[in-house]
Amino acid sequence: MNNQLHYLIVKEKNKKTIHYFEYNNLDGFNMVSKSKNIKLKDAINVNKIVIINQSFIEKLINKKINGKIKKLIDLLNDIYNNEDSSEDPAGSLMQALNEVEKFKREMINKYMDYMTKEQLKLLDKKIEILEQEVTLKAYYLNEESTKEKSNEEIKSR
């Protein structure tokens, strides 16, 4: 016997009440709670959060997307700054390209239903710029390595 309760917290003018609410029938943005087991006294464990307010959904999705784009940019900056190290720079660039593609697929699968066409176009442009930067850097790296090889062949003759 599954005896789970579902609640909706509504803030009205001067009342803060908890209403029983069947959220399974509503379309909204589903989130999973970050804190699984709260050890505090009188605390409520939350397993799932459904956000219904469209403007709040857009703000939340933009915040998540911008955070992930910032992480990708930081990854690219680390790769660019550490290209002189002993690691394989081509492998690092391919990893970065894979991360950009993974990010693109994740955004399409998770957030496409909640974004407007303008937001999708803007996100697509940002991802395209990241992909172009990585492929351009890989191209220049490939050109440098071929020039070095040709110079070594000329010197060996």
pLDDT at position 121 is: 92
Residue 74 one-letter amino acid: D
Spatial distance between the Cα atoms of 19 and 85, rounded to a whole number of angstroms: 59
Q: Helix (H, G, I), strand (E, B), or coil: what is residue 87?
A: coil
Tokens found for residue 71: 């992480």
| Amino acid letter, 153 | E
**Average of per-residue pLDDT across 124-129:** 92
Q: Domains of the chain (ranges plus CATH)?
A: 7-51 (no CATH), 54-156 (1.20.58)
User: For position 15, what pLDDT does the model report?
Assistant: 64
- What is the overall mean pLDDT for the chain? 79
β-bridge partners, 7: 20
In DSSP terms, which residues pair with 48 in a beta bridge?
A: 32
Q: For residues 24 and 77, which has the higher predicted lDDT (pLDDT)?
A: 77
Question: What pTM was estimated for this model as a whole?
Answer: 0.69
Packing angle, helices 89-111 and 54-81, rounded to 10: 180
